[in-house]
Amino acid sequence: MKLKTKQSVVGWTFIIPFLIVVLCMLFIPLAYAYYLSSHQNTLVGGNKFVWFSNYKTVFTDPLFLEGLKRVALFGLIQIPLMLGIALIAALVLDTVNSKMAKVFRLIAFLPYAVPAVVGALMWGFLDSNTFGPFGKILLHLGFKSVDLFAPSAFIYTIGNIVTWAWTGYNMIVIYSALRGLPRDAYESALIDGASQVQIARYIKIPAIKNALILTFIFCVIGTMQIYTEPSILSRYTQAVSLGYTPNIYAYSLAFSQSQFNYSAAVSFALALVVFIASYGFFAYNRRRESQS
Amino acid sequence: MTLLETNENQSNVQDNRRKSGYLNPKSKFADVVMFFGVIYFMIPLVWIVVASTKTKNDLFQTFSLGFGHSNSFFTNIAATFRQDNGAFGHWLFNTLFYAVTAAFLSTVTATMAGYSLAHFKYRGSRLVESLILGMVMVPGTALVMPLYLLFAKIHLVNTIWSVILPSVLNPFGAFLMRVYITNSVPEEMLQAARIDRASEFKIFFRIVLPILKPALLTVFLFSLVASWNNYFLPLVMLSSEKLYPLAVGLNTWFGQASQYTADQTLYNCVIDGALIAIVPLIISFIFLQKYWRGGLTAGAVK
């Protein structure tokens, strides 16, 4: 009994600093965001508690929905594409061990070290027809030069930057998971004459399912929050509207329109959507796993 | 004799496979594809190195992936540090200071939490553990606006703490640490130390921490990069240029440079400043590769 009490005291002592940070930097802001968004300043009634009516406004606000739809659609295409490339690259790195593979493993990971602002700046220069090489190369080859900042093309420009920045990171996560697998599992498969593709398909990929789910969830969380790239590059293009992404909308609500409460409501709504999507996906996979 | 030889051959084959990671380890096709991959990932980095050496005129007039007529790298770097009364030096120092402080505090809290969850059972420990996974899934930027409003109330907005404190939150670090500690610090070792009447803090500092060295460095590096690269948080929190980190400062310059009336040497400052902003992290990547991958493994396993 005494030992148990001591265990609790020591255990709590070690976790208290972390919990204080969580309380102050996570729970209180979330509660405050909810509090703000559930109150409405009216001329007649003063500060009034309105439950969820602000959320009804948020989720029917065409500007919020426009941004949400855009990032969702963007993620639907970009995430599988990027993770597909990352997975194939990781599988190749796990089998091939040439010098080139080592160089590739390092270089592909480097963009992760580049701040998103700098990444956006660099690609902004490269993609612009004033500074960049692509327009000139296309002209030289006899094509019409393309404006990568035209409203219709801009989303692809963003897609390229995000893919450049995150493919290597995800590749390394997946590669690390592959390296952690026991090697003898596919030794016997090899001896039985299985091809590398079959081994990847039937042994390796199922074995690293958890790592794949994790990378997928992190990609979803990151994509829904996208702000930096379109915001930095908005100088080059007409494409970035007020509600281009939910975070751009939240920022401009607060700092160009001084609608702080509504901005907090938009933030909270975004957090809710992201949380439900990622946690739901996670729980779904866990349940499926425990059933099978 | 023949039997022996075959055996030897077989074991040779197996040895080769073990060394080379199994089958077609020298695939030419894969090498070619990876070569193009390397080019793709390198283009912006090559560009920025090349551009950082160009004069203003060369920047606009010469081919962007080739060097200019003259090398003005050091002139540009000097100009970058002189611009706006040495603003860049402040930004560089701020970035370093914010990132190191936040990474240090977040590593400390995450490590202690991970240790607590891995080796102590008490009321609430289960709850905290399941909450951590949920916390990882709360998007960080969604907390920024509410934090800004809260900080405004207690006069923390536009101080260094408004950027550092939110970056200390690191549930993923706690999760990584918990996994790592469970796998690498055996319960029996702690029990033995307790029998020797070592105090709990002595056990933590003398026995547990030394084992955790690689994981500590990994969690530190990841939180360092996260706050080094953060843009949205300082953008919202800070209004005086003196407190800006590089990300916000460079973008301010970029904004000024893109105005038609602007002095276009600012473009050189943005480019050379951006180069300086990425060099420290890239060097740390190359020399600390092992630790980067180490942390990712721990995260990937569970």
CATH number at residue A220: 1.10.3720.10
| Domain contains A11 | no
| Domain contains A50 | no
Q: Which residues of A98-115 are buried (b: 16+ CB within 10 A; e: fewer)?
A: bebbeebbbbbbbbbbbb
Q: One-letter amino acid identity for B39?
A: I
Domains of chain B: 69-301 (1.10.3720.10)
Q: Which residues of A touch B18 (CB under 8 A)?
A: 183
Instruction: Please say whether the beta carbons of A154 and A69 come within 8 A.
Output: no
Q: Does the pLDDT at position B2 exceed 50?
A: no
Which range, of A257-261, B100-104, B149-153, averages the lowest pLDDT? A257-261
Q: Where are the beta strands (DSSP E) in A130-173?
A: none
pLDDT tens readout for residues A159-192: 999 999 999 999 998 998 888 888 887 788 888 8
Q: What is the DSSP string of B199-235?
A: -HHHIIIIIIHHHHHHHHHHHHHHHHHHHHH--HHHH
Q: Does the pLDDT at position A85 exceed 80?
A: yes
pLDDT at B18: 44
pTM of the model: 0.87
For an interface test with A, which of B34, B111, B284, B290 has the most A Cβ atoms less than 10 Å from its Cβ?
B34
* Tally of structural domains, chain A: 1
Maximum distance among all Cα pairs of chain A, rounded to whole angstroms: 83
| Domain contains A113 | yes
Among candidates A18, A98, A104 on the partner chain, residue whose Cβ is nearest the Cβ of B112: A18
CA–CA separation, B274 and A122 (whole Å): 9
Q: CB-based contact (8 Å) between B283 and chain A?
A: no
- Cα of A122 to nearest chain B Cα, Å: 6
Q: Is A121–B274 a contact, with Cβ atoms under 8 angstroms apart?
A: yes
Q: Which residues of A touch B115 (CB under 8 A)?
A: 14
Q: Which residues of B touch A257 (CB under 8 A)?
A: none
Among candidates B140, B251, B282 on the partner chain, residue whose Cβ is nearest the Cβ of A117: B251
Instruction: Give the pLDDT band (50/70/90) at residue B249.
Output: very high
| Domain contains A249 | yes
pLDDT tens readout for residues A7-22: 889 999 999 999 999 9
- Cα of A151 to nearest chain B Cα, Å: 19
Q: Which residues contact B218 (CB under 8 A, 6 or more apart)?
A: B176, B291, B292, B294, B295, B298
Q: Is B44–A122 a contact, with Cβ atoms under 8 angstroms apart?
A: yes
Q: One-letter amino acid identity for B252?
A: T
Q: Is A118–B247 a contact, with Cβ atoms under 8 angstroms apart?
A: yes
Instruction: Give the pLDDT band (50/70/90) at residue B8.
Output: very low
Which range, of A3-17, B28-42, B101-115, averages the lowest pLDDT? A3-17
CA–CA separation, A57 and B108 (whole Å): 42
Q: Which has the closest alpha carbon to B253: B267, B241, B240, B239? A: B267
Q: CB-based contact (8 Å) between B34 and chain A?
A: yes
| Domain contains A53 | no
Instruction: Please say whether the beta carbons of A275 and B134 come within 8 A.
Output: yes
Chain A with chain B: Cβ pairs closer than 8 A: 308
ipTM entry: 0.88
| Domain contains A258 | yes
pLDDT tens readout for residues A214-225: 899 999 999 999
Q: Is B231–A115 a contact, with Cβ atoms under 8 angstroms apart?
A: yes
Q: Which has the closest alpha carbon to B143: A88, A34, A175, A290? A: A34
Which residues span the domain enclosing A244? 62-291
Q: What is the DSSP string of B161-175?
A: HHHHHHHH--HHHHH
**Residue A134: CB atoms within 10 Å:** 16
